[in-house]
């Protein structure tokens, strides 16, 4: 039986159709776009109690609650979203949407092109993080959100949150950036490149045209996921979880079958991933992440943030080597140079980059304190 205590309960994914074409950074005008989204809580009359939470690379709009009684687990940030939780749905109207180019309801490469009546495949235009934020803003306008009380995200979600405060500085009152970066390191770009190459090298990828084929590029996508998953953990997490323990055996087989538990784990992660994700979406979204670099676009990171009015909370994890704390501190330094209101916390964790999805208890306390302090400041300003 499901535990619905302090839970948003049963939720359903909704869809909004953007009929107008959207001009992408590349210059391409694209549309229509369908956006899959979920909401929790109620929007107040002023339309200013909304919190936008943004998912990471392979996430979706289902951030909290259960879709059916048969669900094995709730949404991906359920421990942080709900009554009396960090993102308190008794106070806030929480919104989460699936990313542009995704495969969980929002228009992407697997969607049907209305002109050809076939999936877009690689005819889908390459997009950027800025383009994904344009789509989300149109959704917020449709929902009558007049301003964002906060925007929050981890990893790629944090990148979109950064872009949101840059693109719509007056619209966002606070931002919570978790385990994120303002630009990928060459090493992180390299991991994404190897993942994409795994997909493209799979003969079943067929130049992106595989949707009606009996064989899909599952091997390439699985390998890409295994490569990515290694970056989400850290040496300590890998050692604590697996060590050098063998998988269901007491000795080596002296062949190329699976010997170690860590091998079996990665293979399992790859296998379950192909059941829920699209190979082309993986190509497009990782490329968008690679391109993200506001410092390059605006001349410096300080210059990129100069018009923002948001109050910032930035959280990093000491074992995260994919987006290390030094990258969060670079964001903090840029904001401090501008005299912006910024708080920073590095959390000790053995979980690596995945900590933003696992370390709920400590994150909850920090976020709740930040939002409560922020709401008190807003109420005091309104009473003057």
Task: Provide the annotated active-site residues.
Answer: 155, 320, 353
- Dmax over CA atoms of the chain, in Å, equals 76
**Distances from the Cα of 342 to the Cαs of 174, 183, 310, in angstroms?**
10, 19, 9
The answer to whether 291 and 273 have CB atoms below 8 angstroms apart is: no
Neighbours of 114 (CB within 10 A): 8
- Cβ-contact 40, 140 below 8 angstroms: no
């Amino acid at each position: 039986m499901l535990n619905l205590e302090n839970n948003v309960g049963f939720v359903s994914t909704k869809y909004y159709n953007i009929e107008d074409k959207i001009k992408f950074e590349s210059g391409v005008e694209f549309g229509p776009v369908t956006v899959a989204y979920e909401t929790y809580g109620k929007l107040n009359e002023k339309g200013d109690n909304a919190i936008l939470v943004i998912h990471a690379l392979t996430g979706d709009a289902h951030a909290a609650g259960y879709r059916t009684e048969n669900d094995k687990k709730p949404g991906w940030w359920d421990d942080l979203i709900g009554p009396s939780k960090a993102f308190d749905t008794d106070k806030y109207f929480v919104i989460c949407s699936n990313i542009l180019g995704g495969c969980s309801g929002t228009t992407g490469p697997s969607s049907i092109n209305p002109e050809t009546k076939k999936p877009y495949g690689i005819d889908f235009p390459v997009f950027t993080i800025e383009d994904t934020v344009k789509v989300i803003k149109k959704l917020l306008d449709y929902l009558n959100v007049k301003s964002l009380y906060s925007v929050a995200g981890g990893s790629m979600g944090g990148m979109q949150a950064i872009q949101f405060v840059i693109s719509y500085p007056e619209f966002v009152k606070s931002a919570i950036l978790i385990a994120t970066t303002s630009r990928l390191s060459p090493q992180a770009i390299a991991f994404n490149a190897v993942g994409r190459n795994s997909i493209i090298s799979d003969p079943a990828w067929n130049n992106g045209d595989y949707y009606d084929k009996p064989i899909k590029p599952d091997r390439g996508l699985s390998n890409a996921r295994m490569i990515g998953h290694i970056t989400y953990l850290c040496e300590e997490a890998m050692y604590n979880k697996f060590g050098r323990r063998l998988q269901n055996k007491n000795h080596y087989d002296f062949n190329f079958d699976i010997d170690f538990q860590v091998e079996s784990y990665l293979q399992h992660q790859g296998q379950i991933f192909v059941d829920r994700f699209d190979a082309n979406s993986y190509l497009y979204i990782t490329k968008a992440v690679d391109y993200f670099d506001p410092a390059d676009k605006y001349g410096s990171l300080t210059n990129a943030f100069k018009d923002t009015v948001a109050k910032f909370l930035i959280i990093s994890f000491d074992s995260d080597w994919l987006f290390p704390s030094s990258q969060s501190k670079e964001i903090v330094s840029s904001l401090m140079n501008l005299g912006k209101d910024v708080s920073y916390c590095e959390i000790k964790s053995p979980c690596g980059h995945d900590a933003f999805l696992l370390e709920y208890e400590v994150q909850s306390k920090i976020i709740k304190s930040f939002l409560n302090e922020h709401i008190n400041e807003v109420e005091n300003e309104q009473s003057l």
